[in-house]
Each structure stands twice: as structure tokens, then as C-alpha cells.
Amino acid sequence: MQRLTIIAALLVFGLQSFAQPKNLAQKLGYPKDAKLLIVHADDAGFAHSADSAIMLAYEKGAINSASIMVTCPWFPEIAAFAKKHPEMDWGIHLSLTSEWKNYKWQGVAPSSAIPSLLDKNGYLYDSVEGFGAHAKVDEAEKEIRAQIEKAKAFGIRISHLDNHMGSILASPELMKMFQRVGKEYKLPVLEPVSYIRMVAPKLIPAIDTTGIIVDNFIMAYQVTPADKWKNFYNYSIKNLKPGLNELIFHLGFDEDELRAVCTEHPAYGSAWRQQDYDYATSDEFKALLKAEGVYLVTWGEIGKVEYGK
């Protein structure tokens, strides 16, 4: 009897173990409690300096992901590089805002098709608040689709979708539309749960929890002295939790072009981007990732798990 009880218990345990679905780490071939990290660069295409820094950072092995602003003047430059390097993650940094003082862009869709997205001068609004107050969801969808299709026309192998300045977080309806478009194109979309809880908790019910969820979103928010710059990133890596994490860098070089673009805008400005580049490409950062047992993953790998692409 005791032997039968033991066998029955083992069978129940085995069935329970078999029935438990694999989490993302296991699907990717890592331990269940693995700390997964995407090392990502935003704003490719927005300036030559940003493109140069992103391309060089990739060649140095400092990043494994970037997202491209199709609306911006230097898009063709980064598109050509992306076409030559399809092995790297290339997301579309869906741009529905244009924040710089003297450096603006319009949408990809005809202005007549997206009037609610444009300010009185015909440019995309300079703030999330301005966008959110005027944008119609159907017109935002038209623009998002136009940006994706333009990227495809340039031969970019798209790995995922994310969003410039978080404008998609302006309403639950926009968030739902964003997720729906991602599913239609079979592309993972960035849903930074930790960030949403902090800045837009009303959106939590709108998140499709059946999709890929970024458990922890790491991005610097405050201007700090250059000699303190690494402290935030080092702390974040040392306190990384199991699950899917994404670290966002804004790369560039502190030179004339970027200083002119980012005038009167120290946050994410030229000095900021130089400091991000210096840290991202540092030996200290690489050593810390190794010491903390972090597994680097890509949106491309996640897309294969999610959509078989």
C-alpha cells in the first residue's frame, strides 16, 4: 500500500510538472529564473550623430537592439545599415511626436489623412500631452502602419515595435490599437509594465497579458554629472530581477550637429547621449553583465518563440 501511495504521488507530481507551461526564459533555452536582458538603443535615424554612435556601438558588441525613427531625416542612412545587418534587432520606434525646438518632422502618411496628429505648422505635436489631446485613434493607426510599411519598403527586417516618447500611453484605446497592429504584423510590441505602473496605471487593464511582457524597463530619466552617470546603470544591473528586462540607451556624440538638434533640451541631449555611449561601450558594463549572470536576448529570438518568425 505504501508503495502504491508513493507511485501515485510521483505520478501526480509528474503530471503537474508536465502541465506547467514554460515561461519565456525556458522557451528560449535558459533556466526558469534566468535574468534576461535586451540592450537597446533608441532613436536611430533621428540624427547622423545618433546613427554613427549606434552603428559603432553595435560593431563593438555593446548593444543587440535598436529602433528606427522612420519619420526623421537620417532614416535612409540607418535603413541602409540595417539592411546590411539583418542579424541585429531592428525595431520601429513609432514616432507620433516631434519634441525638439528647431528640428521637426511630419508624418509618413499624407497630412490630409492624419490632420489630428499635426500642429498648426503641420508638424507632429511636440509633447505627449499635445498628441493625446488631439489625436484620433484611427488616424494614429494610419500613421503607424505607414511607418511600418515604409521601413519594409527600405528592406529592413523588423524585429519589434516600440514608441517614441511613450505617446501610445496617452489612452487605453491607443494602447489596444498598438497591440492589435503588432499582432497583425506578427511583431512583439514593447509593453513596459513597470514603467506603465509608474506613469500611467490606468493602462494596466488594457495590456494584453497573453503577449510578450517586459517585466522591467530600465531607462535613465534625470540629468546627472558625468562622473555619476554609471551609478544608475550599475545599480540597475546589480538589482536585475528574473524575467524579461530591457535597458534603453540614447546614444550619440556630443558634437555640433547634435548640440544644434538638442538645443535648450539637456534631457536626452548631446551630452546625455555621449555619456550613454561611453557607458554602453565600456569594459565595466560588459564585465558587470557577466558577473551578474545576465543572459542577453533579442526581440528577434522572442519573435520566433511568439510567432515562429
> Does residue 2 fall inside a structural domain?
no
> Does residue 166 fall inside a structural domain?
yes
The whole-number pLDDT of residue 80 equals: 98
- Span 52-58, mean pLDDT? 98
pLDDT band for 212, please (50, 70, 90 cuts): confident
Query: CATH number of the domain that 255 lies in?
Result: 3.20.20.370
The whole-number pLDDT of residue 309 equals: 66
Q: What is the pLDDT of residues 27-49, one digit of tens each?
A: 999 999 999 999 999 999 999 99
Nearest to 258 by CA among 277, 242, 271: 271
Buried b / exposed e over 273-296, threshold 16 CB at 10 Å, is bbbbbebbbeeebeebbeeeebee
* Average pLDDT taken over every residue of the chain: 92
Total tally of structural domains belonging to the chain:
1
The whole-number pLDDT of residue 6 equals: 44
The reported pTM is: 0.91
> Does residue 147 fall inside a structural domain?
yes
In the predicted structure, residue 221 carries a pLDDT above the cut 60? yes
* C-alpha cell at position 86: 539583418
pLDDT band for 7, please (50, 70, 90 cuts): very low
- Span 83-89, mean pLDDT? 96
> Does residue 15 fall inside a structural domain?
no
The whole-number pLDDT of residue 272 equals: 96
> Does residue 18 fall inside a structural domain?
no
Q: What's the first-to-final CA gap in the chain, in angstroms?
A: 51
Instruction: Identify the domain containing residue 42 by its residue range.
Output: 23-307
In the predicted structure, residue 286 carries a pLDDT above the cut 80? yes
> Is 48:75 a contact under the CB 8 Å cutoff?
no
pLDDT band for 194, please (50, 70, 90 cuts): confident
- 242 against 224, higher pLDDT: 242
- Neighbouring C-beta atoms of residue 46, cutoff 10 Å: 28
> Does residue 17 fall inside a structural domain?
no
- CA dist 215 and 191 (Å) reads 9
pLDDT band for 4, please (50, 70, 90 cuts): very low
Pairing mode, strands 35-44 and 243-249: parallel
Which residues pair with residue 65 across a beta bridge? 40, 89
> Does residue 210 fall inside a structural domain?
yes
- Span 260-286, mean pLDDT? 96
- Tell me how far CA of residue 61 lies from CA of 41, 159, 232, 282, in angstroms: 12, 18, 21, 11
- Span 215-244, mean pLDDT? 93
- CA dist 61 and 67 (Å) reads 16
> Does residue 12 fall inside a structural domain?
no
- Span 83-109, mean pLDDT? 97
pLDDT band for 120, please (50, 70, 90 cuts): very high
Which residues pair with residue 93 across a beta bridge? 162
- Span 84-99, mean pLDDT? 97
